[in-house]
Amino acid sequence: MNIDKLIQQLEAKHPGEYEYLQAVKEVLITIEAEYNNHPEFEKAKIAERLVEPDRIFSFKIPWVDDRGDVQINLGYRVQFNNAIGPYKGGLRFHPSVNLSILKFLGFEQIFKNALTTLPMGGGKGGSDFNPKGKSDAEVMRFCQAFMLELWKYIGPDTDVPAGDIGVGGREVAYMYGMYRKLARENTGVLTGKNLEFGGSLIRPEATGFGGLYFVHHMLENAGVDIKDKTIALSGFGNVAWGAAIKATELGAKVVTISGPDGYIYDAAGISGEKIEYMLDLRATCNDIVEPYAEKFGAVFVPNRRPWEVKVDIALPCATQNELNEADAELLIKNGVICVAEISNMGCTPEAIDLFLKHKIMYGPGKAVNAGGVATSGLEMTQNAMHISWTAAEVDEKLHQIMSEIHNQCLRYGKEADGYINYMKGANVAGFLKVAKAMLAQGVI
């Protein structure tokens, strides 16, 4: 495979799609050696076929706000690859949403989903709708208008969306209601549903829980105890709260969270009632974190990110490219031992290069945050069987899956000096599964 040529072609075809090109480059570079051991991949042009989505739907979403004004948003669904199972991946509602971001997320989802060991292909979708500051009725009308288009393209065995940034239980429920009315069926067409109509226990906290199970394995493998380690988290959305709960349970201390206004530093640890308080605040305050400082006597640092705090472990939980080279330098200078992305593509390529150069344990999102979509896969299974498992059953399966993903990373990521390159391990393991499936099924 001539990687440079393929990347140049993609850059020419998709100029300005920076996030998408960044995600593709990372995978191609890390799988190159393995790819070249398989002349049959080259012959079937697996790489060239993988980097382009199967199809992209893009549509207009007109809706009426509370003042009676007509609003128009853009909606998308990127169906990237379904070689190993139905397209599966979340929906993101955020003003920054564009095709580059959804293509990067859909591309990553292919390999992440392959790693979970469950039969799920890769897809992603969303809208540039901004849920912040919208009333509940506006969110409902928008979700209904969005589903009025999306429902034509999805189905429980075709394409199964879920949440992502800006889409939680409330939004999934509104979309599910519209889907079941239009399609006249009650199926597992969306995951992240409420418990009353087919949701799975543990799904809301699964991304954070899974992330901490993975970090626990990383540390254990290096002979390090997670107990009493300090952790910096960013964000406080669908992901960070589960991470904070599980980190505390494992004996670590979470000292930061962040929002659009800055970050909180709480040396006493962010746990228990403090997490409950933040969950309540989040529902009414558009993700800002400052009120926490006054309530619990902690430090609020406006307009900065938490990576300047001295910690043992850093866990980006907010969005892509939220930890850059300068942040990485500072973390390393402050003695960080492990950085693991619970957000998708949380670190820039330059930051990752620094972690690898300094032999810092670095976990890529595809592996670390796979517990969310894995538990979505478990929700699909429960829906298909028309049963529901207990929290303990789901948690045990999640634990097993994260442990298996860690094993796959060890298998494909171990370097000659013993350092584990988790990025390479995750990319190669995920890629091999999808590539073999594509090869077996012929050119389609």
Q: Site residues (CB under 6 A) for ligand 2IT?
A: 88-90, 162, 164, 191, 344, 372-373, 376
Minimum gap (Å) between residue 178 Cβ and ligand 2IT: 18
| In the complex, residue closest to ligand 2IT by CB | 90
CB contact at 8 A, 172 and 143: no
Q: How far is the CB of 206 from ligand 2IT (least distance, A)?
A: 8
117 or 334, CB closer to ligand 2IT? 117
- Report yes or no: 424 and 26 within 8 Å, Cβ to Cβ: no
Residue 359 C-beta: closest distance to ligand 2IT, Å: 28
Q: Is 227 a catalytic residue?
A: no
In terms of Cα–Cα distance, which of 114, 110, 100 is closest to 49?
110
Residue tagged active-site, from 124, 193, 246, 274 = 124
Going 194 to 200 to 202 to 203, the CA torsion angle's sign is: negative
CA distances from 160 to 79, 170, 238, 304 (A): 10, 17, 19, 36
Q: Which two tokens stand for residue 299?
A: 């430090």
Minimum CB separation of residue 321 from ligand 2IT in Å reads: 15
Instruction: Return d(Cα 253, Cα 226) in angstroms, integer.
Output: 9
Contact assessment for residue 328 and residue 2, using Cβ atoms and an 8 Å cutoff: no
Task: Kindly state the smallest distance separating residue 408's Cβ from ligand 2IT, in Å.
Answer: 17
Q: Nearest-CA neighbor of 167 among 89, 109, 233?
A: 89
Sheet holding 121-127, edge to edge: 55-64, 70-81, 121-127, 87-93, 159-162
Comparing CB distances to ligand 2IT, the nearer of 113 and 348 is 113
User: How far, in whole angstroms, is CA 54 from its chain's centroid?
Assistant: 21
Positions marked active-site:
124
